[in-house]
Amino acid sequence: MIDQLLQTPELARRINDLLTFYGMAHAYRSGLEPGPLPPELDDVLSELQPYDIALVLEALPEPSRLVLLYVLEPQAAAEALGYLEHDQQYRLLDHLPERTIRAIVAVMPSDALVDLLGAIHPNQAQEILKRVPLEDVAQVKELLSYPEHSAGGLMTFNYLSARTEWTAAQVIDHFRKVAQNVENVNYVYVVDKAGRLAGVVSLRDIILAAPGVKVAEIMYAKVISIHVDADQEEAARLLSQYDFSAIPVVNHNNQMVGIITVDDIIDVVEEEATEDIQLIGGTEPFDKPYMQAGIRELFGKRIGWLLVLFLAESLTGSIMRSYESVLSQMIALTFFIPLLIDTGGNSGSQASTLVIRAMALGEVTPKDYFTIIWREIRLGLLLGAVMGLVAYGRALFMGGSMSLGLTVAFTIIMVVVVSTTAGATLPMIGKRIGLDPAVFSAPLITTIADGVGLLIYFRMAQLIIGIGG
């Protein structure tokens, strides 16, 4: 039920009351073992999902947060922590008793732990790393070595694997032993003696199989996998294309090193879309929720592009000054300038956002480039023709001469064609030279359209109206 989300404050109050009533805060402060929870408290806590516990943690006063983490099962505490901001996670962990920290860190999913370590100060990460169980340290350090936005940075070690020679019954026995540490139970990954990925079989097929059947006989040998260095967008594309709930990650020897689960992919898909939308809106991407970014941070992310665009746009001032005599001979020309440059900007913005999004979704491959440009040229002509006609009407309606109307109309047609073509072409060139296509988005295209539009406009005025200058 969704209602419970709305009830977080009451829930937090109730849990806070229970913690106080049963002397948990006292136990926490005096360093006593929490021991078995009073049934009333246990009933409330055991029915909460980790995400709900995270909401409760945020709603509790700071000291009670620590008490709650202290009394929770380490598994529940670890999973709930994973939903909080990284600095918040660290602050809470850092204040807990040594024993509790160790218990929580030991059961944190490896991807969540690595995300935390990568996001906090190296000294703080060092402190946490000291509490990681010795047998896991090497793996965690390996995960830390992968770039944040690579498949390696996204993967977790908590998967289910089996050896080719095992039987279905052996796999189920093995599963019973490790099940608590597995993030995805849909697939069993099959590896050979050297740890190379040899196949995949669904847990469903293992359960359905006769107990004595060898894994090698029922597995898919042609596994879709992703290289540990691949970009996270590649992982997102594979998972969403194949509708898998997890994908295995391999190194250059085809040895299996982890899995990426679909719940992390949703975050990637949302993150990538957010980044593109921020760029399309002319803001440098930032990876915090808007409400959590400070004024100073937002200022920093926004002023840069505003200045760049301002400087580029300054060119329009120079263009206009060089046509000062044309303007002064016919002030009415200026009436149409905002209209002209905005129509150019709008049509360029349509083309660039459509192409940027199609590229982000992997719908466009380099061999489509010329098709796209040719489409946008034709669209520019069609859209420009309609807009030019309307603009001609508007110019006459404002009492302009027919030659002014023609000047405005032809300029619009040309500006729209230039804008749609540039809007489609620049993101593709950007990708070609290794930039994020979303950089070439509406604001930049608009600026280019403005300069080009004014040049066309004044030339047209000289040509059609016959103004010298």
Closest contact distance (angstroms) between CB of 270 and a second copy is 6
Site string for a second copy, 186-215 (x = CB under 8 A): x---------------xxx--xx-------
Site for a second copy, residues 413 to 442, rule: CB under 8 A = 442
Site for a second copy, residues 284 to 313, rule: CB under 8 A = 289-291, 295, 298-299, 302-303, 305-307, 309-310, 313
Nearer to a second copy, 155 or 280 (CB): 280
Asked if residue 447 binds a second copy (CB under 8 A), the reply is yes
Closest contact distance (angstroms) between CB of 229 and a second copy is 12
Closest contact distance (angstroms) between CB of 170 and a second copy is 14
Closest contact distance (angstroms) between CB of 105 and a second copy is 20
User: Of residues 64, 276, 411, 458, which one binds a second copy by CB under 8 A?
Assistant: 276
Nearer to a second copy, 137 or 386 (CB): 386
Amino acid at 411: T
Beta-bridge partner residues of 250: 227, 256
Closest contact distance (angstroms) between CB of 143 and a second copy is 19
Closest contact distance (angstroms) between CB of 269 and a second copy is 5
Closest contact distance (angstroms) between CB of 255 and a second copy is 14
Asked if residue 8 binds a second copy (CB under 8 A), the reply is no
Site for a second copy, residues 221 to 250, rule: CB under 8 A = 221-227, 230, 234, 236, 238-245
**Pair 68, 19: CB distance under 8 Å:** yes
Nearer to a second copy, 64 or 349 (CB): 349
Asked if residue 3 binds a second copy (CB under 8 A), the reply is no
User: Of residues 265, 418, 448, 461, which one binds a second copy by CB under 8 A?
Assistant: 265
Site for a second copy, residues 340 to 359, rule: CB under 8 A = 341-343, 345-347, 349-350, 352-358
Site for a second copy, residues 25 to 84, rule: CB under 8 A = 47-49, 51
Closest contact distance (angstroms) between CB of 104 and a second copy is 18
Nearer to a second copy, 32 or 51 (CB): 51
Asked if residue 396 binds a second copy (CB under 8 A), the reply is no
Asked if residue 169 binds a second copy (CB under 8 A), the reply is no
User: Of residues 102, 149, 214, 394, which one binds a second copy by CB under 8 A?
Assistant: 394
* Distance between CA atoms of residues 425 and 369, nearest Å: 8
